[in-house]
Structure 1
Amino acid sequence: MLLAIDIGNTHIVTGILDKNGEVLLTFRVASNDKLTEDEYFSYLRNISEFNKIDIKNVEGIIVASVVPNLITIFQFLGKKYFHIDPMIVGPDIKIPFTFAPNLNPTGFGADRIIDIVQSLNDYPDKNLVIFDFGSATTYEVLEKTVYVGGGILPGIEMSINALFANTAKLPKVKFSTPESVLGKNTNEQIQAGIFYGYAGQIKHIIKKIKEVIDNPFVVATGGLGKILSAEIEEIDVYSPDLSIKGLYTLYLHNKK
């Protein structure tokens, strides 16, 4: 089995996959660099046992992180409990795509790499647009196996939190599909504005990409991507386990 760990700014998504790359379990905990490797292992052990998965069968570990401090903690976890040096997604790892000559890939996020790797694996020979709706929303654009550019914008929850934090009376609402674009009270109006406003942003970004990229296939992932994908017909597929499967694919690519 492979233990795949995707560390984001808000959550750590952990996946356990079998030797064929089938996802047996995924779960998320808060990203917190104050926790120790022992505390994170406790989460892993308890949730795995509850799901009747024996983590003693883990033979490999791969970690992608946008929070540098947490990489060390999971390196300690791998060595202490599994006697494994985790593979770290970083600048030295082999990737199955290249960057266009006019781009500067310095600092390119590990989370973005694994999304691209799995999208190329699942949809070869296509021009790709990949949206990841996380703490920040990112999009990547590839012409076949060449990364030609992308973008970053505030995530949905970040937008909701900013509205709540910078106003005196507006409440914090949960992101969900509103009943109507015409909200009947303050909560409904915030939900309508955020939902349709964000969907409109994504639709327009895809429209502009299609002006420069021929017939792209649009992939979406991330916790809130499912809700938006149902509204945005320009998104071709929603892939909830894209990052975890990308870690598995990248692990095999480098293990060889």
Structure 2
Amino acid sequence: MYIVFDVGNTNIVTSILNSEGIVENTFRNRTNDRITEDEFMGFFKSMMDINNIEVKDIEGIMVSSVVPVITSMLQRFGKKYFGLDVFVVSVSQKIPFKFADNIDASGMGADRIINVVQALKEYPDKNLIIFDFGTATTYEVLKGNTYIGGGIFPGPRTYINSLFGTTARLPKVEFCETESVLGRNTVTGIQSATFFGYIGQVKYLIEKIKEEVGEDCFVIATGGFSKIIGEYVKEIDKCSSKLSIRGIYTLYKMNKE
């Protein structure tokens, strides 16, 4: 069995994969950059007990992380409790795509790398646009197997939190689907404008990307908000909630081989 940690700014998603790389179970807990490897083992042990997993069953541990202090903690955790060197996703690993000459790839995050890796594996003959709707929303654009650019902007919930955090009287609300773009009060006014404004932003970005690429592109969405956004953005061809987890495993196997 394999354990995969997908560490974001908000949550750590822990997945159990069988020997074939199929996701069997997934757990989610909040990202806490002060947790120690010993405290983390307390959570992890309960997860192992639920799934009847013993230490000897774990063949490999993989980490994709945008929080460096958590990366270090998980490396210590893997070594101390399982005697394993943890595989950490980075641009220095062997990857199945190349960068255009004008791209500076040195700061490309692990979350973006694994999305590209898995999207290319599943759709190798297409130009790709890959959206990941999380705390930050990212998009990556590939022409063939060449990465030609991307972008980062606030995720749906981050938009709303920033509005609440910088105003005196506006309430904090949830990002959710609304029936009308016309809000009936302050709460529904924020929700309507944020929801439909976000949908419009994604639609326009896809239009502009395709215009610059000059060819048709296959659009993939992943991340926590991908399902709800995908229902309204018809330009999205495929929503894939486990794209990142599968991408970590794909990259791990590629480098092991």
Normalising by the smaller structure, the TM-score range is over 0.9
Does structure 2 conserve the Cα–Cα contact (< 8 Å) formed by 1:139 and 1:152? yes
Alpha-carbon spacing, 1:48–1:187, altered in 2? closer, same or farther (3 Å):
farther
Query: What is the DSSP-based 3-state SS (H/G/I as helix, E as strand, rest coil) of the residue aligned with 2:212?
Result: coil
What is the aligned residue count? 255
Residues 1:163 and 2:163 aligned together: yes
- 1:45 paired residue number: 45
Q: Measure the CA separation in 2 of the matches of 1:103 and 1:202.
A: 23
Quote the offset at 1:204 in angstroms.
0.1
- 2:107 paired residue number: 107
Quote the offset at 1:65 in angstroms.
1.2
Q: Structure 1: which 5+ residue stretches go unaligned?
A: none
Q: Measure the CA separation in 2 of the matches of 1:108 and 1:216.
A: 22
Deviations 1:95-124 (A, max 9, x none): 000000111111111110000001011111
Query: What is the DSSP-based 3-state SS (H/G/I as helix, E as strand, rest coil) of the residue aligned with 1:137?
Result: strand
Query: What is the DSSP-based 3-state SS (H/G/I as helix, E as strand, rest coil) of the residue aligned with 2:229?
Result: helix
- Aligned residue type for 1:243: S
- 1:216 paired residue number: 217
Does structure 2 conserve the Cα–Cα contact (< 8 Å) formed by 1:221 and 1:241? yes
Residues 83-122 of structure 1: matches in 2 within 5 Å?
A: 83-122=83-122
- 1:64 paired residue number: 64
Quote the offset at 1:53 in angstroms.
4.3
Q: Measure the CA separation in 1 of the matches of 2:205 and 2:97.
A: 23
Quote the offset at 1:41 in angstroms.
2.0
Report the TM-score when normalising by structure 1: 0.96
Does structure 1 conserve the Cα–Cα contact (< 8 Å) formed by 2:91 and 2:105? no
Deviations 1:178-222 (A, max 9, x none): 122122121111111111000100000000011122110000011
Runs of 4+ in 1 over 4 A off after TM superposition: none
Residues 115-134 of structure 1: matches in 2 within 5 Å?
A: 115-134=115-134
Q: Measure the CA separation in 2 of the matches of 1:53 and 1:193.
A: 47
Q: Structure 2: which 5+ residue stretches go unaligned?
A: none
Q: Measure the CA separation in 2 of the matches of 1:172 and 1:53.
A: 41
- 1:231 paired residue number: 232
Does structure 1 conserve the Cα–Cα contact (< 8 Å) formed by 2:91 and 2:113? no
Quote the offset at 1:44 in angstroms.
2.1
Q: Measure the CA separation in 2 of the matches of 1:58 and 1:177.
A: 41
- 1:241 paired residue number: 242
